[in-house]
């Protein structure tokens, strides 16, 4: 098995041309990206709105129940229904739509949950210093909710990368091609190679998003050390009777 996998991966044929790994990988990435854009354009604003206003919480429940819909059945039904669309669109639109439906629940739940979980004292302080609703949302709620929002996005990306293989079923490309074609031809090296590629891509994207999260989330929330000063520094917080204006002031 390992030997045949290796020979599949090392065969120049596997990498070349339209049906080579390079192109399939790009197609797969493109489906994932398009799906995430659609899902986030819908789910992030909705989550922010529900979280900020507390209105229409049922939206989150409804979205969560979407997770129960069988993806494959839905994809076939949608393809039948949309088969009159011109050219590739007849396959691309239903595929992206079905994948987006999969991505919306985690993004919506993460966004709404993140806003909801913001420390009420911070929100109260935001209004108390004179921020207006929008300022509270963008200057306080969103930055504080970012870890949960991004973890929703990450779990959606993982699911979409894994599930985008089904696009091959309705005749599209992507890494799913290797799996579907491999299975059809009983070429298990090809099928296994495709599955492995999906897993590697998922891990790579996960790593990339973890980096993005590190850059975007304030160190005040992640507890990462800032500029070398940590809690256990020599000048770490201490409640001391001697703590005074004079003691603490550094020479200019």
Any contact of residue 235 with another protein (CB under 8 A)?
yes
> Over 81-100, what HEC string results?
HCCCCCCCHHHHHHHHHHHH
Q: How far apart are the first and last CA of the chain?
A: 70
Q: Which is nearer to another protein, 84 or 244 (CB)?
A: 244
* Environment class of 152 (CB within 10 Å of its CB; exposed 0-12, middle 13-18, buried 19+): buried
Part of the chain binding another protein (CB under 8 A), chosen from 7-15, 37-45, 106-114, 237-245:
237-245
Convert residues 113-152 into a mask of x (bound to another protein by CB under 8 A) and - (unbound). ------x-xx-xxxxxxxxx--x----x--xx--------
Q: How far is the CB of 238 from another protein (least distance, A)?
A: 6
Site for another protein, residues 188 to 227, rule: CB under 8 A: 218-221, 223, 226-227
Query: Under a CB-based contact definition with an 8 Å cutoff, are residues 196 and 211 in contact?
Result: no
Q: Which of 3, 17, 84, 249 binds another protein (CB under 8 A)?
A: 249
Q: Report in angstroms the alpha-carbon separations of 1 from 19, 22, 187, 199.
A: 23, 23, 11, 18
User: In terms of Cα–Cα distance, which of 30, 39, 173, 153 is closest to 98?
Assistant: 39
Residues that bind another protein (CB under 8 A): 119, 121-122, 124-132, 135, 140, 143-144, 218-221, 223, 226-227, 229-231, 235-239, 241, 243-245, 248-250
């Amino acid at each position: 098995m390992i030997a045949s996998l290796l020979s599949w991966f090392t065969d120049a044929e596997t990498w070349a041309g339209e049906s080579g790994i390079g192109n399939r990988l790009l197609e797969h990435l493109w489906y994932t990206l398009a799906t995430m854009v659609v899902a986030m354009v819908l789910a992030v604003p909705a989550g922010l709105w529900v979280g900020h206003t507390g209105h229409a919480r049922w939206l989150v429940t409804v979205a969560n129940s979407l997770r129960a819909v069988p993806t494959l059945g839905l994809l076939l039904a949608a393809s039948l229904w949309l088969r009159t669309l011109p050219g590739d669109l007849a396959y691309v639109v239903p595929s992206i739509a079905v994948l987006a439906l999969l991505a919306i629940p985690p993004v919506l739940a993460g966004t709404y949950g993140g806003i909801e979980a913001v420390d009420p004292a911070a929100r109260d302080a935001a209004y108390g210093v004179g921020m207006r609703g929008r300022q509270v949302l963008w200057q306080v709620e969103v930055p504080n909710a970012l870890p949960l929002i991004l973890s929703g996005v990450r779990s959606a990306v993982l699911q979409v990368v894994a599930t985008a293989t089904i696009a091959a079923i309705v005749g599209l490309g992507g890494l799913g091609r290797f799996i579907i074609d491999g299975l059809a031809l009983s070429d298990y090296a090809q099928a296994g190679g495709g599955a492995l590629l999906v897993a590697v891509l998922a891990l790579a994207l996960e790593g990339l998003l973890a980096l993005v999260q590190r850059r975007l989330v304030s160190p005040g929330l992640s507890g990462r050390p800032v500029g070398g000063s940590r809690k256990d520094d020599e000048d770490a917080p201490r409640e001391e009777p001697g703590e005074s204006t004079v003691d603490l002031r550094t020479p200019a």
